[in-house]
Amino acid sequence: MKNKLLILFLLVGFQMRAQQILNIYSVPANPTTADDIYILADVQFNSGGCNVWQQSHSFFSAFVINAGAMHCLGPLAVICNYTDSFHLGPLAAGNYTFNFQLDNGYGGPPCTPGIVAGPTDSYNFTVSVPTGQQEIEENTFMIYPNPAASELRIQNAALRIDRVQIYNTLGETIFSQKPEARSQKQIYIDVSALSPGMYVAELKTGEKLTRQIFSVLR
């Protein structure tokens, strides 16, 4: 019985030291609303063969992103370094927090996490408006309802909207429209076919633009 307990404690201790988050950073280092943004996490394991098996991220709120990665470790007793990459795409201007949890398992893939939760870390970054480019003042337009279920309305009382684009959280353009002259101040977008989740709406008017996050619920 004592031997079994000793083995259990050794396994727990090994799990606690099995992975580390070395660094989290954004690419580009100082992102703007015009950039395709990635967050990279440099991680380290004490066992060779540490390819990622599962990786995901989601917006907890408009400016908080929760992410995680699960790695399957191999049998080699050597240090293994890896960089997890998360594609956020274009984001609205603002201050963001990226929360990251790193887990590992053995065997597989597939593999299951150990009995001790992996380490967590956070990274704060700011998305700004590019130099020389003006941002549309928020009080000149409305995007509603937010969250939306079937239809999204974009209304601009002060400026005519030249183009509307919608991106998913992978940065992929899923909607692009240049409104007709008679409807430039109010646009209706059918979002009934979109999967529930967070999206970015980008409005352009002349040389100005803005991006705003909205969500789709069912």
Tell me whether strands 64-73 and 120-127 are parallel, antiparallel or unpaired: unpaired
Q: What is the model's pLDDT at position 60?
A: 82
Phi, psi at 181, each rounded to 5°: -55, -40
Phi, psi at 141, each rounded to 5°: -145, 165
At 18-41, the pLDDT tens digits run 689 999 999 999 998 888 899 999
Strand order in the sheet with 134-135: 134-135, 208-216, 197-205, 163-167, 173-177
pLDDT surpassing 90 at residue 164: no
Region class of 178: left (phi > 0), else alpha (psi between -120 and 50), else beta: beta
Tokens of 194: 């979109």
Q: What is the model's pLDDT at position 144?
A: 86
- Work out the angle at residue 20's Cα, subtended by the Cα atoms of residues 15 and 23, and round it to the nearest 5 degrees: 165
pLDDT surpassing 60 at residue 17: no
Q: Set out the domains of the chain in order of their start, with CATH numbers.
A: 2-127 (no CATH), 134-216 (2.60.40.2470)
Tokens of 175: 């909607």
CA distance 63 to 121: 16
CA distance 131 to 42: 30
Q: Please tell me which residue, 90 or 40, carries the higher pLDDT value.
A: 40
pLDDT surpassing 60 at residue 184: no
Element (H, E) at 12: helix 2-16
Phi, psi at 25, each rounded to 5°: -155, 165
At 92-118, the pLDDT tens digits run 888 999 999 999 988 778 888 777 789
Tokens of 1: 């019985």
Q: Which residues pair with 56 in a beta bridge?
A: 68
Q: What is the model's pLDDT at position 159?
A: 63
Over the chain, what is the mean pLDDT?
Answer: 80
Q: What is the model's pLDDT at position 115?
A: 75
CA distance 21 to 207: 41
